[in-house]
Structure 1
Amino acid sequence: MAIQKRPKAMNISLWAVQILLSITFIWAGFMKLFVPDDLPWLWTKENPELVWISGIVDLLAGLGLTLPTLLRIRPILTAYAAFGTIALMFSAILFHVLRGEGNQIGFNVFILISAVFIAWGRGKKDPTDLPNPPFK
């Protein structure tokens, strides 16, 4: 059986993006759950329930983007967490556009593109030594 070499640059790039997004989401979730009054956005004061829900989702996204691959326990869950992040960012973009805050979606678009990279990379390109990757 031939051993395939994984491209190191791709793996390093995926890990870098995963860690950065994970830190971003864990920080955002922590802020939304524990200090929502200190958040600078107007929508957080108008929708306290949405802040609480999005804080939980952000924490789960932050954990899901790194822990499964890091612990090698069902690493495909990282790709699924990235798909969830994509859905979350589409929802955030739609939310801001409907509120007339289209000028504030740049960060959401950046996160969306990063999550697409993780979903593609961990799902198809570099699936962390899965014997039968689901996205062939």
Structure 2
Amino acid sequence: MNLGLWIAAGVLAVVALSGGLVKSFVPKEKLAGLNGAGWTQAFGPGFVKTLGVLELLAALGLILPAALGVAPVLVPVTAVCWVALMVGAMITHGRLGEAGLVVLNLFYLALAVFVAWGRFGPESFAG
């Protein structure tokens, strides 16, 4: 189970890192042309960049606390925050009729729930 939790957290961290880098450093106008990024037209550039920074922080929070042994409770807390982010993403993509992206976000949400449940519960770093 521990290995599965590390893999799930790693997958989420890679997704968060890649999404965060794109949203943080690619101009909003160029983002709108990317597949699945049409949602950016409905939001300001500051909001998009803020989401990118939050995703970068999530990538760090899913791995580093446990890997370094410093405040490892931040791993499941970050996973819960990722759940909230995915709910928002699902609502946004659903409103835009992007069913495929809703399903993808649902998969990420399920991974985050698994990490939160596992790290708060049976495979907690505290005990």
TM-score range, shorter chain: 0.7 to 0.9
| Structure 2: distance between partners of 1:103 and 1:66 | 27
The aligned counterpart of 1:99 is 96
Q: SS at 1:62's partner residue?
A: helix
Moved over 3 A (4+): none
* Contact 2:24–2:53 (8 Å) recurs in 1: yes
Q: Tell me how far 1:81 sits from its aligned partner.
A: 0.2
Q: Tell me how far 1:46 sits from its aligned partner.
A: 4.2
Q: Tell me how far 1:17 sits from its aligned partner.
A: 1.1
Which residues of 2 match residues 6-17 of structure 1 at below 5 A? Answer: 10-17=1-8
Structure 1 position 25 matched with structure 2 position 16: yes
Identity %: 37
Structure 1 position 70 matched with structure 2 position 67: yes
* Contact 2:39–2:93 (8 Å) recurs in 1: no
Q: Of the candidates 73, 77, 84, which is equivalent to residue 87 of structure 1?
A: 84
* Contact 2:62–2:78 (8 Å) recurs in 1: yes
Aligned residue-pair number: 121
Q: Of the candidates 102, 112, 116, which is equivalent to residue 115 of structure 1?
A: 112
Q: SS at 1:125's partner residue?
A: coil
For normalisation by structure 2, the TM-score amounts to 0.86
| Structure 2: distance between partners of 1:22 and 1:86 | 13
Structure 1 spans left out of the alignment, 5+ residues:
1-9, 132-136
| Structure 1: distance between partners of 2:104 and 2:123 | 26
| Structure 1: distance between partners of 2:96 and 2:47 | 14
The aligned counterpart of 2:39 is 43
Letter in 1 for 2:40: T
Q: Tell me how far 1:97 sits from its aligned partner.
A: 1.6
For normalisation by structure 1, the TM-score amounts to 0.81
Q: What do you get for the CA RMSD once the two structures are aligned?
A: 1.5
| Structure 2: distance between partners of 1:127 and 1:13 | 13
Which structure would you say has the larger Rg? 1
Structure 2 spans left out of the alignment, 5+ residues:
none
